[in-house]
Structure 1
Amino acid sequence: MAKARVEKAPQLSLPDDFQVITPFFHKYDVTDEDGRYLHWAQLKWRVPKADAESIWKTVKFKRMSQYKVLSLKSEDEQPFVYCTPHSMEAKLYQLVKIAGGNVGAISDTVATDNLQSKFLVSSLIMEEAITSAQLEGASTTREVAKKMLEEEREPVDEDERMILNNYLLLRFAERNKKEKLTLDLILEFHRIATMGTTENGVVPGEFRQDDDIYIEDGDGNIAHQPPSYDLIDERLKILCDFANKDHTGLKGCDFIHPIIKAIILHFMVGYEHPFRDGNGRTARALFYWFMLKSEYTLFKFVSISKLLREKPKDYGMSFMYTEKDSNDLTYFIYFQLDIIFNAFEDLKTYLGNKTNEFKKIAEILEKTTWGNKLTFIQKDLLKKAVKEPGRVFSAKEVSNAYSISSNTARSYLSKLAELKLFFATKDGKTVMYIAPSDLLSKLNAGKA
């Protein structure tokens, strides 16, 4: 297999190159005029060819003067660095405004706060669990996977097992958000992510025991060879120390923005690649864990896996640009910030659609005799039933979907059957509730 190629950038040599960069010093900066942080491979085509090297060295000099040096190092003992240009600070400011609020603030409507507390938590965690598994190659359809999670059905194959594992992994990350990062916690993240799977000879909850592993780029070439397996314990302990260290900027310590720190943790698991398989899932879980730890609660609702799945080549290139340019993490940070932004845009669209669907049913129900007798969840169940006539609901599924007790779910469904809005039938000892095909006309008529 060929080694992936990213052209090596011209090296800046000081003080010799001062004379070369002086003519361009006032015209070029760390980013271009559009705020883009370009690698040499991207920049050289956008500037006059005769001056490309000198312009690159000018840009590199300005970046080096802004670098923040981390305690994390590559295998050759070179520290990882990053800088925060104006365009990155602007992105972080916008993200903090979005992610620090509530769901209602995202979709510009107060109504969705009900959706947040009663529906979205489990539903959107399920969405991310499914997409994360699809990113790793699982082929189960979204509908089948969602139903499996809602009904707590046992997985029938490895693809479904991966999806269930991801769901349990995200819930585990949320439950353990107050814990410090340790090797044991990383191993537990991985164990949950890979239990019951056999892909690439993975052993759940155990580090790899050889170096017969590499990361491919989007074209099947070798993009990265991780550090040796016998360094994994030592290097991940350093990563844990970094994760647990105070980077609030208070009392004289260094400041690293929590979103940037979470992105760095994501990158480093990919860089170290400590497991035979499941590194991506573990890295994304660690990202979510640190965001929730930092009290960015809305991150539990966004799916970064969906967007990573759509841009695998860009994801790989952001890793390679970092490695091929003095361990400069800024490329990867920019890429991830854009992914997060787009994820919140998707969340806004999703919430808008859900709210509009709910409002339509709520408006119809207001004109009926049962409008004021039904809870939010019962109305939402009717919304689903109208969209999917013949759909079968169970107490267990409703309990999981809305994070309520089985008894409460049963009473809600039983009431809908009593009002003749659902049909009740038995499957063995389990009572199932079916959405009638004429439900919408019943609702519009105002009587069951």
Structure 2
Amino acid sequence: MASIKKPKSHLETLAQSAEAVVKLMPQFRAVDQKGRYLHWHDFKHRVPAGIDADAAWAAVKLSRAAILKSVGLCSESGKPFNYCLPDSAQTVIHQIDQLNARLGSSVSSASTAGESNSYLVESLMMEEAISSAQLEGAVTTRKVAKQMLEKERPPVNDDERMIVNNFLQMKLARRSKDEPLSLELIRQFHAEVTQGIDVDHSCPGEIRQNDDIFVVGRDSEIAHQPPAAASLPQRLEALCGFANQNHDGLEGRLFIHPAVKAIILHFMIGFEHPFNDGNGRTARCLFYWYMLKCGYWSFEYVSISALLKDAPMKYGESYLFTETDDLDLTYFICHQLSIIQRAINDFLKYIERKRNDFVAIIELLTESGFNKTLNFRQIHLLKKLLRNPGRLFTAKEVKNDFDISENTARTDLEKLYQLKLLGKSREGKTWYYIAREDAMAHIRGSGSNRG
């Protein structure tokens, strides 16, 4: 990634070449002809030959000035953060608003649709925990990491500990979604994600006390110098005030869409860099926390970190674009919305595959009569055991898969054991349930006997 440079001040260009800038305004708007909100870093290469790039950029900046709005947060120097929403961003926001409706009732609902969706997507929280840790450098396979979380196996190194911490942090975000944001809650998020990992450096839950921390770019240059440590308590209190403020647009209040506000919270933790380590994971947790707080329950299962991990340089660029262009958050918002759009599409494809699998299992169970004796969890367990003959299951794993108590998980496993779909073996104090090789034949045989 080439170094991101600040563009020449458009006000300076306007003062020098006002007539030229005004003539270019019909041609150069807030977005280009493809609807892209370009930073000077990319814009300067797309200006046609014979046109002054600085004047064209000044024309773009004047067009944006008319639609930008301040969010009420400022840099140390008092310069305001602002943003606007291009049409492409509005499209993604519409998709976000539609997502809950497309999936049906809330996963917390007691309705049949809600219960079914819950078990279709519950394990996806593990996927975000794994991806977020890998984005920060954790080295392990997804298979090993998921087995660790499912079986509650103690982590054997810092990489695995990071994944466990992320998973616990996501659960904390869910539990605390009805609380207002506070400095203490931010510290709790950070403490959860850094506990047990290089404690002397990460200092779980402690706001940094020094200014010898900075973010380096690709070429080891200083890409971002966070605000002074002494200013952090006051700045974080201001951030909490922003999070807790009503931005519904009524009675003269500023309107900020919840998804945009969640993204801004994500950005600001990265910008403030209030901790020695773990800022990125804390920032992403805060995004999820706010989405859950605002009723977007499906985002508990939509993983953005997996996609950020695939293109970490673009993620970093979106921060730098904002910082080098008058604190215009639009760059970061648009980047995150593009990630969210892809994550939603991946999530819906996943749900569709799972639903198709579920329908096939239901048809088989209906033929055999098993559908009358099994609940949703047991049916999903059955689907897994049919795919993996010989696989071992424990009550702890089932508890984590479906977010239920261990006693309920054990009852589900016992039910499948009684139906001769699982075997059972004891090792020490732990009961293991084994997917029987003849489970499918037993189901089909029951259907034949029933006929």
* Contact 1:166–1:193 (CA under 8 A) maintained in structure 2: yes
In the alignment, what sits opposite 2:84?
83
Q: State the shift of 1:311 in Å.
A: 1.3
How do residues 365-444 of structure 1 correspond to structure 2 at under 5 angstroms? Answer: 365-444=365-444
* Contact 1:4–1:221 (CA under 8 A) maintained in structure 2: no
How do residues 64-79 of structure 1 correspond to structure 2 at under 5 angstroms? Answer: 64-79=65-80
Q: TM-score, normalised by structure 2?
A: 0.92
* Contact 2:120–2:354 (CA under 8 A) maintained in structure 1: no
Q: State the shift of 1:114 in Å.
A: 3.7
* Contact 1:119–1:401 (CA under 8 A) maintained in structure 2: no
Residue correspondences, number: 441
| Cα separation, 2, equivalents of 1:190 and 1:371 | 44
| Cα separation, 2, equivalents of 1:93 and 1:103 | 15
Q: Percent identity?
A: 47
Q: State the shift of 1:111 in Å.
A: 8.4
In the alignment, what sits opposite 2:19?
19
| Cα separation, 2, equivalents of 1:218 and 1:112 | 47
| Cα separation, 2, equivalents of 1:429 and 1:265 | 46
| Cα separation, 2, equivalents of 1:419 and 1:256 | 54
| Cα separation, 2, equivalents of 1:404 and 1:411 | 11
How do residues 85-100 of structure 1 correspond to structure 2 at under 5 angstroms? Answer: 85-98=86-99, 100=100
In the alignment, what sits opposite 1:298?
298
The one-character-per-residue Cα deviations of 1:262-321 (angstroms, maximum 9, x if unpaired) are 111110100111111100111011111111111122111101111111110111111111
| Cα separation, 2, equivalents of 1:231 and 1:219 | 29
Flag the 1:354–1:212 CA change in 2: closer, same or farther, 3 A: same
| Cα separation, 1, equivalents of 2:175 and 2:114 | 22
* Contact 2:213–2:276 (CA under 8 A) maintained in structure 1: yes
Over the residues paired in the alignment, what is the CA RMSD in angstroms? 2.3
Amino acid at match of 1:206: E
Amino acid at match of 1:61: L
In the alignment, what sits opposite 1:260?
260
SS of the equivalent of 1:223 reads: strand
In the alignment, what sits opposite 2:3?
5
Q: State the shift of 1:75 in Å.
A: 2.5
The one-character-per-residue Cα deviations of 1:233-289 (angstroms, maximum 9, x if unpaired) are 121111111111121111221111211111111101001111111001110111111
| Cα separation, 2, equivalents of 1:190 and 1:36 | 35
Flag the 1:149–1:102 CA change in 2: closer, same or farther, 3 A: farther
* Contact 1:292–1:300 (CA under 8 A) maintained in structure 2: yes
The one-character-per-residue Cα deviations of 1:75-125 (angstroms, maximum 9, x if unpaired) are 332111111233322332232222x4252499xxx986443234523x121
* Contact 1:365–1:371 (CA under 8 A) maintained in structure 2: yes
Q: TM-score, normalised by structure 1?
A: 0.92
Flag the 1:113–1:206 CA change in 2: closer, same or farther, 3 A: same
Greater CA drift, 13-22 or 35-44? 13-22
The one-character-per-residue Cα deviations of 1:331-364 (angstroms, maximum 9, x if unpaired) are 0000001111111111111112212222222222
Q: Does 1:198 align with 2:195?
A: no
Q: State the shift of 1:375 in Å.
A: 2.1
Flag the 1:67–1:200 CA change in 2: closer, same or farther, 3 A: farther
| Cα separation, 2, equivalents of 1:184 and 1:111 | 38
| Cα separation, 1, equivalents of 2:346 and 2:425 | 38
Flag the 1:178–1:374 CA change in 2: closer, same or farther, 3 A: closer
The one-character-per-residue Cα deviations of 1:28-56 (angstroms, maximum 9, x if unpaired) are 21001111100112112222133122221
| Cα separation, 1, equivalents of 2:382 and 2:344 | 27
| Cα separation, 2, equivalents of 1:375 and 1:237 | 47
Q: Does 1:185 align with 2:164?
A: no
In the alignment, what sits opposite 2:142?
142
| Cα separation, 2, equivalents of 1:119 and 1:95 | 19
How do residues 38-437 of structure 1 correspond to structure 2 at under 5 angstroms? Answer: 38-51=38-51, 52-98=53-99, 100-101=100-101, 103-104=103-104, 113-121=114-122, 123-198=123-198, 201-218=201-218, 220-437=220-437
Flag the 1:188–1:384 CA change in 2: closer, same or farther, 3 A: same
Q: State the shift of 1:218 in Å.
A: 4.4
Amino acid at match of 2:134: Q
* Contact 1:111–1:355 (CA under 8 A) maintained in structure 2: no
* Contact 1:148–1:155 (CA under 8 A) maintained in structure 2: yes
